[in-house]
Amino acid sequence: MPAFLIADIDVKDQDSYRAYKEANPAIVKKFGGRYVALGGQTKVLEGDWNPRRTVIIEFPDMEAIAAFYQSPEYVALRKIRWASADSRLVAIETLPT
């Protein structure tokens, strides 16, 4: 069942974060992911959530998200994200069709 990785990224260091942005798509693709939203305009309709850079990636299933997140390539890359941005990530499974 497809699953989504949803990230809210508050970039603190654009120069360092650029290396993350450039390398991440190849790793996402390797694990069957595809970008659905990538930092486009957001509008808060209710509540106090103030997303900065929102990224939504669809993966084939929750296992693919786990494999992506725990892969040696991404483990090394996410250290760049941690150093250059504050991040919140969630994985959510879709409903059966």
Could you tell me if residue 35 is inside a domain? yes
Q: What integer pLDDT is reported at residue 75 of this predicted model? A: 96
Q: Which amino acid is at 65?
A: I
Looking up residue 57, the CATH number of its domain turns out to be: 3.30.70.100
Phi, psi at residue 60, to the nearest 5°? -60, -30
pLDDT score of 39 more than 90: no
The pTM is what?
0.91
d(CA 73, CA 38): 20
Confidence of residue 40 (pLDDT cuts 50, 70, 90): confident
d(CA 30, CA 51): 27
Domain ranges, residue 84: 3-41+51-93
Q: Which amino acid is at 59?
A: F
What would the pLDDT profile of 42-81 be if each residue is shown by its tens digit? 999 999 988 999 999 999 999 999 999 999 999 999 999 9
Could you tell me if residue 46 is inside a domain? no
> What percent of the chain is modeled with pLDDT above 70?
100
- Taking phi over 0 as left and psi of -120 to 50 as alpha, with beta for the rest, 32 belongs to left
Could you tell me if residue 56 is inside a domain? yes
